[in-house]
A and B are shown apart, each in its own frame.
Chain A
């Protein structure tokens, strides 16, 4: 079955630590996205990638980094520079910008 897999489902970060959230898709989609969702809120775009080896900042990129070395994979690193990382992180993919996005089931990140 095609889809998007995010791992881990829950992640805890210590102060000063970088953590990496995994996102893998087997839908053969060119575009991939990372969103942050705070309780009771909508989605805010962190980074997106339209093609392998290329990505752009979204609305809240500070304190985050990404890579897109393979079409299937778009990992997100939450760096120690992100002072308020506690949130629900969602990865999505689509055939191209403006088309329907397929979402993973998210990673919930908390601070220890």
Chain B
């Protein structure tokens, strides 16, 4: 069963623009993680945000978490063509079970 639901399913932007992806979930969590997957490859962990944190940054990535709304967002600033990939959120529930959402497919046009 998938815990997180990403929105939008697909996003297409121009290089230099910002990209925002959202993740909603249903049950209480320990943490929420964002991953990236290039076509035909495995997932790569980007960032983890704990349930008691509201915002984290890593380079051009900014993640927010709103536990009252059970939602998170991933912002990629000044996007590059190399950012083209699928992005997944994964929620770690209180019993440590972790589940992935269906992902957002991001296309950055040069």
Residues on A lying within 8 angstroms of B by beta carbon are: 4, 6, 35, 40-45, 59, 88, 90, 92, 96-106, 108
Sample (10) of A-B pairs whose CB atoms are under 8 Å apart: A35-B100, A90-B42, A92-B42, A98-B98, A100-B33, A100-B48, A101-B45, A102-B45, A106-B40, A106-B42
Which residue of the partner chain, among A88, A96, A98, A101, contacts B31 with CB atoms under 8 Å?
A98
Q: Which of B44, B92, B97 has the most CB of A within 10 A?
A: B97
| Contact indicator A42/B102 (Cβ below 8 Å) | yes
* B contacts with A: majority SS: strand
| Contact indicator A98/B43 (Cβ below 8 Å) | no
Q: Tell me whether A97 and B98 are in contact in the complex, defined as CB-CB below 8 angstroms, given that A42-B2, A106-B41 are known contacts.
A: yes
Looking at chain B, what size class is its interface with the partner chain? 20 to 34
| Contact indicator A59/B1 (Cβ below 8 Å) | yes
Q: Whose C-beta in chain B lies nearest to the C-beta of A56?
A: B97
CB distance from B100 to the nearest CB of A (A): 4
Q: Chain A residues near B90: list those with CB within 8 A.
A: 101
Judge whether B25 is part of the interface by a CB distance below 8 angstroms. Answer: no
| Contact indicator A42/B42 (Cβ below 8 Å) | no
| Contact indicator B42/A100 (Cβ below 8 Å) | no
Q: Tell me whether A103 and B99 are in contact in the complex, defined as CB-CB below 8 angstroms, given that A98-B30, A98-B31, A98-B92 are known contacts.
A: no
